[in-house]
Amino acid sequence: MTDVHRRSIIVDGHCDSPYRMLRHNVHLDEHDTEAQLDLKSLRAGGITASFFAAYVPPFYAGRGAAAFAHRLITLIQEEARRNPEVLTYCTDAEGIRAAKRDDKHALLIGVEGGHAIEDSLDILRELYARGARYMTLTHVNTNNWCDSSGDAPRHNGLTDFGRDVVRAMNDLGMIVDISHVSDAAYYAVLETTRVPVVATHSSCRAICNHPRNMTDEMLRDLAQNRGVCMINFFSAFVNEQVAQVIMRAQKRPQRGANGPGENEEMPDDRTDWDSYLKWFGTLGCPVAKFDDVIDHIVHAATIAGVDHVGLGSDFDGVPALPDGLQTAAALPRITERLLARGFTEDEVLKVLGENFMRVFGDIERGAR
Ligand SMILES: [Zn+2]
């Protein structure tokens, strides 16, 4: 591990380990052959802070979505409590810095899927009160107030209530996560927010043409907003060939009852993960290269500026990762590759975590 990696605050914007732990009934410190992130790899990767997703499968929209979010929030908090020597549950930027000083790994909570609030600002505030520090406005489903990049648009972006949600999040000091939303929704959010926003796990559309990724224009506008785009490692979001294979397969009408929906990186509860993995395995996707991820970091830094790029692995939420990046333990190699590709140590520190820390601080100070 390089010295710069060791002293850096490293923030991972998004991982789906809580949903894996729930499905497999295992804890973070327990062996699971499918784990892309567990306690061991979290430590080996040198990750200071990881946002654990309280992911609410779209299936629960209108069927107890808030309760499901609460269930995962409890699970995340219990995981932190289970290993107090090495983990610390935290809810603010200062907590992340304290974790670094104490040589611990901070777990933070991000709700994934705006349907979790059941169209209620009170539920939004309850989730914040329980510790959630971001909410992804949609998952792959368009909800009653925000359009998703993975679903048919219904609102030309955001409804008036959707704009109220964004303002309420600004007031709380809760990060507005624009990963998964449609392009129109993204622009409606930028018009509405009074603080920077974050894409906790999105990559660049110019080099991998998938609707989950951000166009160059969106990246430039994110820089104007002073936000940050945290690069997703999923093979289908970083490698154009993989993206083409998976999108073609998803458009096929006869994909069987267990096939995943459009643009999913994560099946909902109607499609069990095992059959999703099996389906993905039948596609014969090429293996993405480690440097595909580095290419996205370099591209985002070139287009938006190096102050607006971060890392959002999506570990445990995706069926395929690039060669050499199978688990969180591989993170030190990202630092090595960035240095090899000409990033200065200061620039590496920014990408690994300082950019996110700046934005998180701005959002906290913007609370009313
Ligand atoms: Zn996601």
- pTM of the full predicted structure? 0.95
pLDDT band at 233 (very low <50, low <70, confident <90, very high): very high
Distance in Å, CA 3 to ligand 1 centroid: 31
pLDDT band at 262 (very low <50, low <70, confident <90, very high): very low
Distance in Å, CA 91 to ligand 1 centroid: 20
Distance in Å, CA 332 to ligand 1 centroid: 23
- Residue 349 tokens read as 């520190």
Distance in Å, CA 269 to ligand 1 centroid: 15
pLDDT at 259: 41
From residue 168, alpha-carbon distances to 16, 128, 194, 310 in Å are: 25, 11, 11, 25
Q: Is the pLDDT of residue 263 over 50?
A: no
Distance in Å, CA 41 to ligand 1 centroid: 21
Question: In this structure, what DSSP letter does residue 215 have?
Answer: P
Distance in Å, CA 149 to ligand 1 centroid: 11
CA distance 41 to 39: 6
Mean per-residue pLDDT of the chain: 94
pLDDT at 264: 52
| CA 295 to mean position of chain CA atoms | 18
Distance in Å, CA 231 to ligand 1 centroid: 12
Distance in Å, CA 314 to ligand 1 centroid: 7
What would the DSSP string read from start to end of 319-365?
Answer: S---TT-SSGGGHHHHHHHHHHTT--HHHHHIIIIIHHHHHHHHHHH
Distance in Å, CA 135 to ligand 1 centroid: 11
pLDDT band at 160 (very low <50, low <70, confident <90, very high): very high
pLDDT band at 267 (very low <50, low <70, confident <90, very high): low
Distance in Å, CA 180 to ligand 1 centroid: 7
Which residue, among 221, 220, 135, has the nearest Cα to 178 in the 3D structure? 135
With beta carbons less than 8 A apart as the criterion, state whether 313 and 355 touch: no
Residue partners of 224: CB distance under 8 A and separation at least 6 = none
Distance in Å, CA 330 to ligand 1 centroid: 21
Q: What is the pLDDT of residues 274-308, one digit of tens each?
A: 788 888 899 999 999 999 999 999 999 999 999 99
Distance in Å, CA 161 to ligand 1 centroid: 23
Which residue, among 109, 11, 25, has the nearest Cα to 354 in the 3D structure? 11
Distance in Å, CA 344 to ligand 1 centroid: 30
Mean pLDDT for 66-92 is: 98
Mean pLDDT for 117-146 is: 98
Q: H or E stretch including 51?
A: strand 49-55
